[in-house]
Structure 1
Amino acid sequence: MSTRFRFTASPSPRAATGRVAGVYGQLARDFGLRAPDTFVVLSPVPELLAATWALMRESLIVGPGDRTGKELVALGVSRANRCPFCVDAHTVLLHATGDHALAERLARGERPADEAHARVLEWGERSRVPGALEDGPYPFPRAHLPGYAGTALAFHFINRVVSALVGEDLLPGRAQRLRAVRSLGGRALARTVRRSAPPGDALTLLDRPAPGEAPAWAGGTPVGPAYAALLRTAMAGADLLDTDDQGPVVEALLDRGGPHPPLALPGFPGRRERPGARLVLLAAPAPYRITDEDVAAWRRPDQTDDCLVRLVALGAFLAVDRVESALGRAVRSGEPSRPSRGAAGTSVARPVPGHLLGGHG
């Protein structure tokens, strides 16, 4: 996959060292691609890159549950978030699992023929709306929740980063729209996708969070510390916001919910008045609406690519947290239930700066 970044000039994978090189090595071994754009774009912030990879690896690749089912969750989430890059990528990965007919039905916009597959896909699509994951029953065994939920949360984050910072096309010339290309791409990845890999390897790349920071729904699996690490690293971007912007940004995101905003973007800050807050608020519901003008209005000489990546990651994770906090409420109550207004957003404060948010729920 060639690099097609929108606003950053990410370092060449060939020059990678340290933690970044470690991530690329695991990507090649366990994902089948050494440096896909989805991860290279995060490389200016190595700890964020490692945490994102860890959550995806420990849930989608080696977490509990069927790989086809988790690919359907990733695809459903990507559809809901309007991320064509990721939709196309997971269509190819379904070919890699051997589910060729299913992949092509989805590529044509059709519903899966298998009702169990359809329910899993729809669960992923619904998860964009805060509180939707509280509605039951789950379309998979309860024991597989860490793998399925971790996959959904990973791609709510990855979709937003990709939509903000990477082009829409998975391959040059939209070659992935050709059935033969999708099939060949899947077959090239098939051996890696179908190979078993040990859980927990990605955790060696992290600054490990305290054991109590792992969410309860992760059930003691490596998905938990991977999620906690992503929370820590993504929320650190709050330091890039002016103090006066931090509270209003959080409140605005709590009020917006899951719908995609209209083209006019009513209620969003202007580029000149609060450019950093505007980028964060766009990254949460509509990262594909971030423009050259938005980035230019925010950028100063001291704000390098890593600052932009961190700011987008903050907005992306604030959206992810709304989904996760609803899931956490359902797990704590013991059964999926109807959502309750106003509780979303409480979980983001567990390890983040106290000046940004209140206590953890």
Structure 2
Amino acid sequence: MSTPFRYTTPAPPKSATGRVAEVYRQLGDDFGIEEASTFVVLSSAPELLGPTWALMRESLIAGAGTRIDRELVAAGVSLANRCPFCVDAHTVLLHATGDHGLAESLARGETPADERHARLLDWGRATRVPGSPALVPTPFPRAEAAAHIGTALSFHFINRIVSALLTDNLLPAGAQRLRTVRSLAGRSLTRTVTRAHAPGASLALLDDPGPGPAWAAGTTVGPAYAALSTAASMGAGLLDDVDLGLVHEVVADWDGTHPPLAWDELPDRDRRPGARLALLAALAPYRITDEDVAAWLKPPFTDHCLVHLIAYGAFVAVDRIESALPLPALLETS
């Protein structure tokens, strides 16, 4: 039987214990999909799974503002990152909010008719470009800044995990391409998506994460972001100093564009497979191939290691985006 997992074999969710089981429980309660493959693929690394869920929950699900607004930001990020799985997911979730017309305009690749909705989608897209001038003024008030910024950064990470480690199909056989299926799938989630969710429920899954960055001060988004930063940095131990230096140098110079097919900075698969995977995860995860993974995923490396290496590369890109945010302007104008 085919699975959505490209390179790993996660344990069945029903066998989960401890914090992994608690993440699945919260997924069922607050996301509506207990065995969402986006999170199951991280289950071999519980120290990553918890923070990834926490950041998405505290920003997209329980953040300030409306769920429609945050879904549009997440959809804009996913479009900018060329992640069809996540674009389809946000289309379904927009159906769940009850705005079926908006959901289908996204599915058709159209600009939303509502000017503010269009601005939110474009703002999400603009976050891929570090320091983009299109980020200000913001299409949301200052009180909602942490939720929207957290949502954007959450999906810059999740998009890269999904593109690297899952297939493009949100539903079996690509059934989400059918309008009727998208609508029905969304309606099945309406009760969960439209319910109010109290902030903070996921923070018990985190180990002393710290308050987080200034843009999230005083919110539950901050500790979740801090925890994910700490967990993702663990993957650095899978690369030597030379490879780490290359990854950071290339990403530090990145301007948000998608790398060309003839990408001179991309290391050779046979000589530096780890650096190659990390750089692809950061800037073009949809270009990771079976051969790229096979060149690196050899004993003693395991699924756990692969997830950590991909997460490391993904978060290097997230950190590049986050560190370039025009915070004074964002927080003054939002």
Query: C-alpha displacement at 1:30, in angstroms?
Result: 0.3
SS of structure 1 residue aligned to 2:324: helix
Query: C-alpha displacement at 1:218, in angstroms?
Result: 0.7
Provide the rounded CA distance (Å) in 1 between the counterparts of 2:28 and 2:304: 24
Matches for 1:19-58 after TM superposition, within 5 Å? 19-58=19-58
Provide the rounded CA distance (Å) in 1 between the counterparts of 2:242 and 2:179: 51
SS of structure 2 residue aligned to 1:284: helix
TM-score (norm 1): 0.89
**Structure 1 match to 2:302:** 304
Tell me the alpha carbon deviations over residues 215-242 of structure 1, each in whole angstroms, 9 at most, x when there is no partner. 1101310000000000000011101101
In the alignment, does 2:309 pair up with 1:330?
no
Provide the rounded CA distance (Å) in 2 between the counterparts of 1:121 and 1:333: 17
**Structure 2 match to 1:345:** none
**Structure 2 match to 1:115:** 115
**Structure 1 match to 2:139:** 139
Between the two proteins, the alignment pairs up a number of residues equal to 333
Tell me the alpha carbon deviations over residues 171-214 of structure 1, each in whole angstroms, 9 at most, x when there is no partner. 11211111110110010000000111211010001112233xx1
Tell me which of 257, 264, 271 is aligned to 2:255. Answer: 257
Percent of paired sites with the same residue: 65
Tell me the alpha carbon deviations over residues 244-292 of structure 1, each in whole angstroms, 9 at most, x when there is no partner. 2112210111112211112233220001111100000000110011111
Provide the rounded CA distance (Å) in 2 between the counterparts of 1:34 and 1:133: 38
Task: Tell me if structure 2 keeps the 8 A contact 1:153–1:324.
Answer: yes
**Structure 2 match to 1:287:** 285
Query: C-alpha displacement at 1:133, in angstroms?
Result: 6.6
Provide the rounded CA distance (Å) in 2 between the counterparts of 1:110 and 1:46: 38
Q: Against the structure 1 CA distance between its residues 36 and 133, is the aligned structure 2 distance closer, same or farther, given a 3 Å change threshold?
A: farther
Tell me which of 185, 208, 231 is aligned to 1:233. Answer: 231
Task: Tell me if structure 2 keeps the 8 A contact 1:79–1:125.
Answer: yes
Task: Tell me if structure 2 keeps the 8 A contact 1:134–1:336.
Answer: no
Provide the rounded CA distance (Å) in 1 between the counterparts of 2:230 and 2:32: 28
Tell me the alpha carbon deviations over residues 1-20 of structure 1, each in whole angstroms, 9 at most, x when there is no partner. x8411111111111111110
Matches for 1:61-100 after TM superposition, within 5 Å? 61-100=61-100
Return the letter of the residue paired with 2:127: S
Task: Tell me if structure 1 keeps the 8 A contact 2:126–2:135.
Answer: no
TM-score (norm 2): 0.97
Task: Tell me if structure 2 keeps the 8 A contact 1:135–1:336.
Answer: no
Tell me the alpha carbon deviations over residues 99-125 of structure 1, each in whole angstroms, 9 at most, x when there is no partner. 101001111111100000000000001
Provide the rounded CA distance (Å) in 2 between the counterparts of 1:117 and 1:102: 9
Provide the rounded CA distance (Å) in 1 between the counterparts of 2:201 and 2:301: 33
Provide the rounded CA distance (Å) in 1 between the counterparts of 2:268 and 2:150: 34
Query: C-alpha displacement at 1:336, in angstroms?
Result: 6.5
Q: Against the structure 1 CA distance between its residues 333 and 5, is the aligned structure 2 distance closer, same or farther, given a 3 Å change threshold?
A: closer
SS of structure 2 residue aligned to 1:256: coil
Tell me the alpha carbon deviations over residues 280-330 of structure 1, each in whole angstroms, 9 at most, x when there is no partner. 000011001111111111122110001000000011001111111122x52
Name stretches of at least 5 consecutive residues in structure 2 with no aligned partner. none
**Structure 1 match to 2:193:** 193
Provide the rounded CA distance (Å) in 2 between the counterparts of 1:29 and 1:193: 10
Return the letter of the residue paired with 1:147: A
Task: Tell me if structure 2 keeps the 8 A contact 1:282–1:289.
Answer: yes
**Structure 2 match to 1:125:** 125
Task: Tell me if structure 2 keeps the 8 A contact 1:134–1:330.
Answer: no
**Structure 2 match to 1:208:** 208
CA RMSD of aligned residues (A): 1.6
Matches for 1:264-275 after TM superposition, within 5 Å? 264-275=262-273
Provide the rounded CA distance (Å) in 2 between the counterparts of 1:162 and 1:4: 10
**Structure 2 match to 1:8:** 8
